[in-house]
Amino acid sequence: ETGVTQSPTHLIKTRGQQVTLRCSSQSGHNTVSWYQQALGQGPQFIFQYYREEENGRGNFPPRFSGLQFPNYSSELNVNALELDDSALYLCASSPRPGNSSDEQFFGPGTRLTVL
């Protein structure tokens, strides 16, 4: 196991609702990245947080927002849920923004279903 945990494991929401997903980074890691993985596809980068500040964002609308806390855990918030938001949401933690992925570890993901 990687030491990166996510909650909840599964979640079912209806269109228009809001959702908050949580990620606890591995001890010593101050950087968290979030990804959306639709069924049968590769993960898509949403955004990254480094020391409580957003440090880059992918091609996702503003209704996808995040937070990082002083203990470096992180939240992903999605407002006005749409059916296409149904996916596995992955977070990955790393000791710093750098240039090597062998120190970045993914959590098991939260499976979100929007009805």
Contacts to other proteins by CB under 8 A = 2, 4, 31, 33, 35, 40-45, 48, 50, 55-56, 58, 90, 92, 94, 97-102, 104-109
Smaller CB distance to other proteins: residue 43 or 78?
A: 43
Please give the DSSP secondary-structure letter assigned to residue 26: P
**With respect to other proteins, which residue has the nearer C-beta, 16 or 98?**
98
Q: Tell me the sheet residues that pair with 21.
A: 76
Instruction: Give CA separation, 82 vs 14, 20, 29, in Å.
Output: 8, 14, 32
Minimum CB distance to other proteins smaller for 43 or for 66: 43
Rounded to a whole number of angstroms, the minimum distance from the CB of residue 111 to other proteins is: 9
Decide: helix, strand or coil at residue 35: strand
* Angstrom distance (rounded) from CA 18 to CA 95: 30
For other proteins, which is the closer residue by CB, 27 or 41? 41
Task: Tell the smallest beta-carbon distance from residue 15 to other proteins (Å).
Answer: 26
106, 64 in Cβ contact below 8 A? no
